[in-house]
Structure 1
Amino acid sequence: MLRVVPVVALLALWVWAFIDCLTTPEDEVRHLPKVVWVIIVLFFPLVGSIAWLVAGRDRTGARRRQVSRPSGPTAGYPEYERPRRPLAPDDDPEFLASLKRGNERHEDMLKQWEADLRRREEELRRGEDRPGEGDRPKG
């Protein structure tokens, strides 16, 4: 049991440091490029994880940025400051208006086709009622 505890602690430290390194924004990484830090933490679990915690991330800069944000009911939550989008297309008035315009266009097109079909049928009926050259017997 005592042999397992250090291994589990090392594994936990390594996973935490690796995930922290991957998710840290580029502007908060110090001394080396982020890719180099990821490789160091990945290939040298103990030394790389400790080095990342000590020298890799600019933790003071992150705190300074948080303090300098404006105060108020939405301070620190930019998603509340953005215009909200409807959650579903059925809730979007622009989407519903475009569907209505499309339906109206299709209904107009269908009415034109029906009128054209009636006109052609009427022309065919009128053409059958009058005796024409096609009606004479050949012989």
Structure 2
Amino acid sequence: MVRLFVFLAAAQLVLVVLALISCLAADRVRAMPRVLWVLVILLLPLLGPLAYFLWGRPLPTSGEGLVRRPRRPASPDDDPDFLRSMDTEQSRRDREILAQWEAELRAREPEPEPEPERPEPGPRGRDEVRDGDEKGPRPPASGV
């Protein structure tokens, strides 16, 4: 029996919350002013929300319930135009900061002196004497 009571109390709470949200979000309500509907919903725990859904909620006109109005983005990060403008603005700022850092770095550090060129070692042949190899070229292998 306690479980049934908890379930019904939760259902009643959900009904009250849904009725309040519906009443406060609606453009207009029927039968009574909005303030009275809110009071009825809050003061009559089960009957108030049911009465609002039956008599206070506005009826959709023909086709109004099926056609949705185009919605504007809820937050800036949902708006593609805003994101595009932020991307270009941020890129410009990043380029300016990078150019400024490069100029400061060039001003702080002197030009590096060029290193002298080192001769590159030639290719090593098969018969070439290697460093530390004093025996000379190896004789060809004999097939015994």
Q: TM-score, normalised by structure 2?
A: 0.47
Max Rg structure: 2
Compare the two structures and name the one with the higher helix fraction. 1
